Amino acid sequence: MTDGQLAVIGLGSIGSMALWRASRSSASVVGFEAASPAHPRSAVGGDTRLFRMTYRGEGNYYPVLQVAQNLWRELEQESGQSVLTQCGGLSIGETDGSYIPALLESIKRTGAPHEVLDRDEMERRYPQHRLGAGECGIFDPEAGFLRTDRAVLSAVEAARSHGATVRSGTPVREIRESPTGVQIVTDTETSEFERVIVASGGWSRALLPPSLQSHVQPKRIYLTWFPARHPEEFSPERFPIYIRITGERSLYGAPTIDGASVKATLDGRGQPTADADGVDRALSAAEIAESEETVAEFLPGLIPSIVRSDAFPDLYTSDSTPLVGFVPGSQRTYLATGFSGAGFKMASAFGAIAASEALGRPSGVEGLDFVRPGRFV
Ligand SMILES: Cc1cc2nc3c(=O)[nH]c(=O)nc-3n(C[C@H](O)[C@H](O)[C@H](O)COP(=O)(O)OP(=O)(O)OC[C@H]3O[C@@H](n4cnc5c(N)ncnc54)[C@H](O)[C@@H]3O)c2cc1C
């Protein structure tokens, strides 16, 4: 006899979604969370995450993003909460630089809906962005932003209503596979399940097999917000989410959700940290100076003085691609971690994929070889 069919370790972005999806088909699912679901020192912190269907790079994420979009809507229906605001999204850069041609190449492969906006059209539609000569924008009509804590808490509540058990304040210290199941060791007890999903984000390394530990690294990612001179110009109706990469400079962000401040953060600044609890929340003088200079140059409608900042952990893999699938050689321990600074938009889908596969069913999503942990072994 086991204590349940499935244990989910970590009820953050991915684990909350896995618990929700698993609870719909299994009567004995238990979520272990070291702190509390959606706690603000996890990768859920910072209010919002960008959602977009257009992306640069090789990974076959498009089918996953299609599933994710549908599941965010399903979560909204089930919870009555607004989770995803599809206000559109802009990718901005030099027409012949490193970003826009690579993005268009990937769009050609996926067929994602998009519009190319030249500099004049950008100026007409989105005067909040100051573009340089030779720059353009790509508009993604399905992009937008996710309300992170709302999404995670909604998923956990939905899971509870389907009968899942939630153990907050219960860090898992060890996972031990036995011939009959997998033992989950906490400070106070050891329980046994048929399968386990490891979704403990920046803290996952200690729960991974040694063969994978050297391929992951927790990193600190910071966020900055700036006050708007005229906040109505930065509302979701007028100001889509954006990612801009111009030469060595970069900035991404979202419209105002508090009617005063706008998220505007330097892109690609993840820094290795010894452990996820040790993330330094304070920004260095250099980080502040570069952020303020970039905002002054790119978004003249913002006052270039940081009004809020914070930093959070995420687990990166050595190829910046997540680990989703069974540990090589195991049929009991399933990994859903290593989302490398880009996982929230897909959390609903990868949570659902993890739940199905860990319960021994096909996920219905094809072409996932690129995320399987076996690629490192
Ligand atoms: C600042 C920042 C900005 C980002 N921007 C974007 C964006 O715009 N778009 C996007 O798609 N992605 C973005 N990302 C990436 C995305 O947020 C992460 O990839 C994703 O949230 C990671 O989810 P996770 O479930 O792996 O980790 P988390 O959400 O951190 O969840 C891990 C959970 O596990 C718990 N836990 C840890 N150890 C244990 C244990 N031993 N036992 C029990 N529980 C444990 C933790 O307490 C935590 O609640 C960003 C990330 C950061 C940090």
With the most atoms of ligand 1 within 8 angstroms of its CB, the residue from 42, 191, 277, 320 to mutate is 42
Can you give the pLDDT of all 377 residues of the chain as single tens digits?
789 999 999 999 999 999 999 999 998 999 999 999 999 999 999 999 999 999 999 899 999 999 999 999 999 999 999 999 999 999 999 999 999 999 999 999 999 999 999 999 999 999 999 999 999 999 999 999 999 999 999 999 999 999 999 999 999 999 999 989 999 999 999 999 999 999 999 999 999 999 999 999 999 999 999 999 999 999 999 999 999 999 999 999 999 999 999 999 999 999 999 999 999 999 999 999 999 999 999 999 999 999 999 999 999 999 999 999 999 999 999 999 999 999 999 999 999 999 999 999 999 999 999 999 999 98
* Residue nearest (by alpha carbon) to ligand 1 atom 31: 12
Q: How far is the CA of 311 from the centre of ligand 1 (A)?
A: 12
What b/e string do you get for 214-252 counting C-beta neighbours within 10 Å, with b at 16 or more? Answer: ebbbbbbbbbbbbbbeebebbebeebbbbbbbbeebbbb
* Residue nearest (by alpha carbon) to ligand 1 atom 50: 341
Instruction: Please give the Cα distance from 343 to 336 (Å, whole number).
Output: 10
Whole-model pTM: value is 0.98
Q: How far is the CA of 15 from the centre of ligand 1 (A)?
A: 9
Q: How far is the CA of 334 from the centre of ligand 1 (A)?
A: 17
Please name which of 345, 330, 348, 340 lies closest in space to residue 370, comparing C-alpha atoms: 340
Q: How far is the CA of 18 from the centre of ligand 1 (A)?
A: 13
Q: How far is the CA of 38 from the centre of ligand 1 (A)?
A: 9
Phi, psi at residue 216, to the nearest 5°? Answer: -130, 155
Nearest-atom number in ligand 1 for the CA of 312 is 53
Nearest-atom number in ligand 1 for the CA of 343 is 19
Please name which of 12, 5, 264 lies closest in space to residue 129, comparing C-alpha atoms: 264
Nearest-atom number in ligand 1 for the CA of 341 is 15
